[in-house]
Every structure is written in C-alpha cells, then in structure tokens.
Structure 1
Amino acid sequence: MELRDYWDLITIILLSIILDLLILLYPDNLFRKVLGLAFVLFFPGYAFITALFPERKELDNIERLALSFGLSIAIVPLIGLALNYTPWGIRLTPILVSLTAFNILFSIAGIYRRASAVNPWIPGISLERIKEELEWEKSSRLDKALTVVLIIAILSSIATLGYVITHPKPGEKFTEFYILGPGGKAADYPTELFAGENGTVIIGIVNHEYRNVTYYVQIWLVNLTYDSSTNQTHIHSMYLMDTLNVTLPPVPVNVEGNWTPQWETNYTFSIEKPGRWQLWFLLFKDDLPELPPAPADGNYAETEARNLILEAINGTIQSLKLNVNVR
C-alpha cells in the first residue's frame, strides 16, 4: 500500500497538531473554532471506527460516517469524566492533550490495521461512489426526493452548529468592583483610626462588559442609623470625599489560570471627627450623576444626594462599604 492510502488518518494527526499550535499561538483565530468543531465531534470517532473495522466489507460509508459522529459524542464526555478524577481536572490544556493523544494513537492503530487488512477500506469521495452508497439508480422518485431533503437537513444542521460554536452568545456582562486592605488582601482594613489618622485601601475594577467603559467612583463619608421599628435609614451626615474616574477596555473572564487585576489604585483618607462612620464607594458607568449644589458645611444629608446612599443600601447602585470607628 502507498502513503496516500492513509491520507485520512494522516490528515487527522496533522490537523490535531495544527489545532494545538493554533490554540497556543493564536487563541482567537477563527480557523481554530472551525477546526475545533471537527476535532471534538468527528476525529475521535472516525479514528476509533477505522482502527476497529479496517475491512471494506465490515461497514459501508454511511455507517462509518454516522458512527464517527456518534462515537465522538460518546468518547469526548468519557475522556472528560476520566480527567475529572485526575489532579489536572477538566480544563482546556488537559482536554486538548488527552483528545490529541487519543486521535493520534487510534489513527496510528488505524494505519497499522489497514496495512494488515485483506481488503482494506480506503475512503474516497466521488459522485459515482455517493450514488452507489445511496443506491440512487434503484431508488424511486420519492426515495430520491427524501434523500435530497435528508442531505440538505444534515448539511444545514452542521452549518448551524458550526455557526453557533464559532459565534457564541456573549456571556453575562458585569463589572468586578472591590476594595482590599493596604497589603493587597481582603484583610487588615483600616477600621479603627484616630481622628486625623490616615487609612489606606486599594480600590480595584475589572471590566467584563464587552465594551470600553468609563468608570466613576464616588467616595462618601456617611454617618447613619437604622431604625428597626420603622425599617428606615436615617442619614445624619454625608460628605463627598473624592471622585475617581478611569476608562477600561473589556477583558475576558479567566476561568483557566490565576485571577489577575486590571486596574487598582491606592486610596488614602483621613476622618477628622470622632464617631462611627461608613466610607461608601459608589460605582457608576459612563455617566456621573449630577449632584445638588454643595451645602456651606459640605453636609449633603439634607439634599437629594442622600438618595445615592439609600439606593446603594437597596442594591440598585453597585457599591462597597467600609465601617470605620474613629476615636
């Protein structure tokens, strides 16, 4: 037998390696998505069937094609299930390596089995072979019409599936908004200060909105009490401490590697008056709400600005709060 008699299995080996390189070097390449569809839904089953049934008489072309898709759909989840019980887990790299190894091993086994076969099955596509497989000459007009409709339906389904996979619906849009202690951890926040003493926190934002966003962070110093009997919040003092802004491009959600920040800044503050205070960080996208004229003493508690804190308490404004006891 000549090398061209194994063109299908050699192609699977080469395309599997090419896909690995594309994912490693060009992860956003469109060809990677198209090739990945065949890599998952066709290659494993085809290599497996070819290794099991190398003789022409064992299966016809239509049966091999159907079993290639069907077995691929069965093999890939089983590989994922096996990976789930390993230290590597179900992640992109282990899945890619496992499927590539499976495709290559069974393609090599298929090459060996075909070379040893008496009357090996060698794939080839021609109009005459397709007619022979479909028994076209012996079919009635109705059978021919149904066959054409079935072929169109199969091709349409494959095209639709390919489009859905290559043009996935965007995931949920959201923004990560957080504050950390001065050491960069969610601990050791400056919650106990003396009057006039500086406290520092780290403000962080990560944009997962699938578009460029200009963020505004309003920082308010608030003194309030909550009356449980009337279920009302009473704002006694409310001072605008600062306003920050930054424009960030969107970044994808990283589910594979370690989480990394996009934008962080150190914010240092001090509170002159003793008491129990709350430092509110309000996040706004694209537009900053207009504030009423600043009162002479700077206390916005009796103005419409108090609604910002009430909305933050109710969760209609994305916000963070730091309780600070000043002595």
Structure 2
Amino acid sequence: MAQAQHPYDTILDAFAKMSVPLDLLICGLWLAGALCTIYIPYLNESFLPILFGIPLVLFIPGYALIAALFPAMRDIDGIERLALSFGLSIALVPLTGLILNYTPFGIRLDPIVISLSLLTIVLCLVALYRRARLPPEERFFVPFHELYQGIRDEFFPKAEGSRTDRILSVILLIAIIAAVTTTVYVIVVPKDGEKFTEFFILGENQKAADYPTSLLTHTNSSLFIGVGNHEYRTVNYTVEPYFLTMTFNEKTNTTSLNSMTPLETFTVSVPHNQTVIRPYTLSPTATGFNRVEFLLFKDTVPDDHITGMERINASYRDLHLWVSVHSLT
C-alpha cells in the first residue's frame, strides 16, 4: 500500500520539481503584460491596455478558477472548460467590484487591477498545487503541439492534393486571419463618437443642489467645479471665474454687463473619458455683485484685452449662478 504523500512534499513537487504548465504560464505572462500596458507611460496611452485588458477581464480569471477546480484531464472536456472560463469570469469580475464597493478603496482602477491580479495569481497557484497531487498522466494540459499540428495538416497537408484544394485552404486561412484582425481592430480602436466636454457646478455636498447664492463679504462659500472630457484626447482646460454686476432692462427685456471682476483662475489637464471635480471657494470683498460667471477655455485662452461679453462669448463653455452679496456690517 502506497504511503500518503506529506503536504510539504506535495508543495515541493508543485513548485520545485514540476515545471509550470504552459496554460498557467500564459495566464501569468498575460497578466504581467496587462499590468505593463496599464502602468508604463506611453504604453497606457495606446490601444494595448484594451488588447490585454479584455481577456484579463472576460477569460483569464474564470480559466484560472476552472483550472483550480478541475485539475484532472478527465474532469471536463475542453469545450466545457472554454465556456465555463468565459461564464465564470463574467461572474467573478462584477462580484469583485461589488466587494470593493463596500471597502474604503472603492471601485477605482488600482483596486480593481490589484484585486483581479491577486485573484488570478492565487487561483493559478492553487491549480498548480492540485495538478501536482495527481499522477503526471492524469494532469490536465492544453495540447498546444497537437493543435498546431492539426491546424497545419488541415491547411497545409503533406499528402499531395489537388491544386484547387491548396488554393482554397490558403484563401480560407487568409479570410480567418483577416476576420480576427478586423474584430480586434474594431474592439481596440473604436470609432470616435460625438466630441464634447461636460462643464458643471455642484454644491458644497457635491450634489446639484444647495448652491451658495447668498454670500457674505470676506466669508468663504464652497462649491465644486467639474470638467468631463469626451474629446477623444487629453485636453488642457482653463477655468476663469468672475464676479459680475448685471442690470436688467424691463423695457427692452435685455441684460447688460456693468462690471466684471476676475477671481482665481485654475488650469486642469483631463484625459479622455475622465472627469475632474475640484473644490472652489468664493469670497467676495465687496457688495454689489449679483452673478458669478464660470468660463471654460479649451487648449488656448484669449488675450487679456478681450473682456466683457466678448470674453464670455469666446469661451468654450460658460456657467453662472445668480447671487446676492451682503456685508457683515
């Protein structure tokens, strides 16, 4: 009767004596490539994060889990492994996001990447350990060499065939490669949609309510200014706030600008498809103002000699709040 193997010896067999299976090695290398494309400058601005990220989200975590649950070749067949890998990945990733939502880290890029990376690594190590406990002939492996041989024999058979069959095989292979390349291109290089910028103001609780409309001189009033970039490129924005004094003429039903006092200006660089929200403090030094104007400029700012309504009209976006300013005394 064979003596049971000590767990320590099994661990040694898994991580020292046994070479890493090629399928698990590919999972680890793909994960490393995805991390490089996400965090290395220049690479993270290309299509590579999408190319590496889609399999990392939709396939690899589920495949690692299936590999950990079913280490033997006889457990399930290849089609079932492939289908369950996609299905479990679609289940694991939202579950990870749900758990992160109830933690101080929140659903952000870094916590999601770290969580998926740790999950994939742990599952791959468990799969490697469980395969090591099986006899070598029972361990699951992906027959990459057999697959390659089968594809090569299908498209380029060694036996002499008709010239027409060879031409049709080459055309079919080219069509498959073209279809796969086109699909990848459509995914990683999506067509540009409508280009626009979101420009908005939020109250002190970062909600579209409770705006500071009654101001006291030499007293701080808080709000938030948000800029959302959907221009399909990184844009440098400049926000220019002003205190205005406006007069309404009831006879002509028009509003005229009497004075325009500049406030603290700030610039912000916003990558595509991201939103930046910054706090801003209003602190009037005199009474008489009845409107706060926020001008947004994209890339370039007009010369200082352009003032008044001309500057407001020259802005890319503009927002305003009607206010009343009172003195402390």
TM category, shorter:
0.5 to 0.7
Q: Does 1:76 align with 2:97?
A: no
Distance 1:147 1:108, change over 3 A: farther
TM-aligned CA deviation for residue 8 of structure 1: 0.9
The CA distance in 1 between the partners of 2:326 and 2:259, in whole Å, is: 15
Q: Does 1:11 align with 2:25?
A: yes
Contact 2:31 2:117 in 1 (8 A): no
The CA distance in 1 between the partners of 2:311 and 2:140, in whole Å, is: 82
The CA distance in 2 between the partners of 1:277 and 1:36, in whole Å, is: 51
The CA distance in 1 between the partners of 2:325 and 2:140, in whole Å, is: 87
> 1:59-113: per-residue Cα shift (whole Å, max 9, x none)?
6xxxx4x766654433321223444654547762444444444454445545655
Could you tell me which amino acid in structure 2 is paired with residue 269 of structure 1? P
TM-aligned CA deviation for residue 189 of structure 1: 3.2
The CA distance in 2 between the partners of 1:200 and 1:189, in whole Å, is: 10
Distance 1:124 1:267, change over 3 A: same
Could you tell me which amino acid in structure 2 is paired with residue 123 of structure 1? F
> What's 2:244 paired with?
221
The CA distance in 1 between the partners of 2:67 and 2:176, in whole Å, is: 21
TM-aligned CA deviation for residue 139 of structure 1: 7.4
Give the paired residue count: 292
TM-aligned CA deviation for residue 319 of structure 1: 1.2
Q: 1:269 aligns with which of 284, 291, 304?
A: 284
Q: 2:136 aligns with which of 93, 102, 115?
A: 115
Distance 1:179 1:133, change over 3 A: closer
> What's 1:241 paired with?
261
Contact 1:219 1:242 in 2 (8 A): yes
TM-aligned CA deviation for residue 54 of structure 1: 1.8
> What's 1:54 paired with?
73
Distance 1:23 1:99, change over 3 A: farther
Contact 2:293 2:321 in 1 (8 A): yes
Contact 1:216 1:283 in 2 (8 A): yes
> What's 1:174 paired with?
197
Could you tell me which amino acid in structure 2 is paired with residue 288 of structure 1? P
Equivalent residues in 2 for 1:148-297 (5 A)? 148-164=170-186, 166-167=188-189, 173-174=196-197, 176=199, 178=201, 189=212, 191-193=214-216, 197-201=217-221, 204=225, 206=227, 208=229, 210-213=233-236, 215=238, 217=240, 219-224=242-247, 233-235=253-255, 238-242=258-262, 245-251=265-271, 261=278, 266=281, 268-273=283-288, 277-285=290-298, 286-288=300-302
- The two structures have a TM-score, normalised by structure 1, of 0.59
RMSD: 5.3
The CA distance in 2 between the partners of 1:199 and 1:156, in whole Å, is: 65
Contact 1:223 1:238 in 2 (8 A): yes
Distance 1:32 1:236, change over 3 A: closer
**Structure 1 gaps, min length 5:** 295-299
**Structure 2 gaps, min length 5:** 1-12
Could you tell me which amino acid in structure 1 is paired with residue 73 of structure 2? P
Could you tell me which amino acid in structure 2 is paired with residue 324 of structure 1? S
SS at 1:280 equivalent: strand
Contact 2:23 2:142 in 1 (8 A): no
The CA distance in 1 between the partners of 2:267 and 2:97, in whole Å, is: 40
SS at 2:284 equivalent: strand
SS at 1:235 equivalent: strand
> What's 1:22 paired with?
36
TM-aligned CA deviation for residue 235 of structure 1: 1.8
SS at 2:145 equivalent: coil
> What's 1:297 paired with?
none
The CA distance in 2 between the partners of 1:191 and 1:119, in whole Å, is: 71
